[in-house]
Amino acid sequence: MQILHPFVGSIQQYAEAISDPERYRPDHCPQCDAKQPLTGHGFYRRTLVDPGFEGVIRVRRYLCRLCKRTVSLLPEFALPWLRFSLTVISLFLVARLLQGLTLAAAALAASQTAMPYQRGQFWIRRFRRQAPALAVALAPLAARVTAPDFVARALAMLESVGWIAGHRFLLSELRAHLLGWPRFLVPHGRRTTLAPALPTT
Ligand SMILES: [Zn+2]
């Protein structure tokens, strides 16, 4: 499973910080009852696009000796299964859906100068679908907002709570994804829809 690594800093600083397996080693397994610290289990590599960065980052992986499952420490500026960082996607969505910019201008606002418009439409479609559930899920964190629809309400909540804080809450507390889990991850036990705030394994 993926858990979020609460990291603040540049991608270069992140790369340095995770080279030490001791530093962020989870002291217990989030997937079973093992109370002993997990064992360093190398890295996996994934691509990431952030304003000013496009390349491969390493993600630290740990192994539970009891249940033999791995836990990876995804940096919280990244979203599971999506190549683009939370910063890029949030800048785009705010520019397009909150400020009403064109697709091209919204891509520019997210520092994506040559982005195919279909990519932005894909993010918008997924966010629209998730918005009603997000507005409910984020309610404990955000002040009450009045907005004409769920999309505007979810955006206003994420803007006030902070996108990273919102993403952290959704993923760690609800195993929920800001843009929804894709179908291909469903067999791995992820919920496709948001449910009440119960910690899951
Ligand atoms: Zn375990």
- Give residue 189 CA to ligand 1 midpoint distance, Å: 16
In order of 10, 144, 187, the CA distances from 191 in angstroms are 31, 26, 9
- Give residue 200 CA to ligand 1 midpoint distance, Å: 13
For residue 96, with 0-12 CB atoms within 10 Å meaning exposed, 13-18 middle and 19 or more buried, which class applies?
Answer: buried
| pLDDT for res 6 | 83
- Give residue 120 CA to ligand 1 midpoint distance, Å: 38
| pLDDT for res 200 | 40
| Cα Rg of the chain (Å, integer) | 17
How far apart, in whole angstroms, are the C-alpha atoms of residue 104 and residue 85? Answer: 18
| pLDDT for res 63 | 95
- Sheet containing strand 70-75, edge to edge, reads 2-5, 70-75, 53-63, 39-50
pTM: 0.87
| pLDDT for res 43 | 94
- Give residue 30 CA to ligand 1 midpoint distance, Å: 7
Token code pair at residue 27: 């002291």
| pLDDT for res 194 | 52
- Give residue 180 CA to ligand 1 midpoint distance, Å: 26
- Give residue 68 CA to ligand 1 midpoint distance, Å: 6
- Give residue 58 CA to ligand 1 midpoint distance, Å: 22
Asked whether the beta carbons of 74 and 61 are under 8 A apart, the reply is no
* Of 33, 130, 144, nearest in space to 79 by CA: 130
| pLDDT for res 198 | 46
- Give residue 66 CA to ligand 1 midpoint distance, Å: 5
- Give residue 201 CA to ligand 1 midpoint distance, Å: 10
List per-block mean pLDDT (blocks of 10 residues) for the chain, which spans 201 residues: 86 88 88 90 94 94 95 93 96 97 97 94 97 94 88 95 95 90 64 47 41
In the 3-class helix/strand/coil scheme, how is 77-142 assigned residue by residue? CCCCCCCECHHHHHHHHHHHHHCCCCHHHHHHHCCCCCCCHHHHHHHHHHHHHHHHHHHHHCCCCC
- Give residue 62 CA to ligand 1 midpoint distance, Å: 10
- Give residue 48 CA to ligand 1 midpoint distance, Å: 28
| pLDDT for res 29 | 93
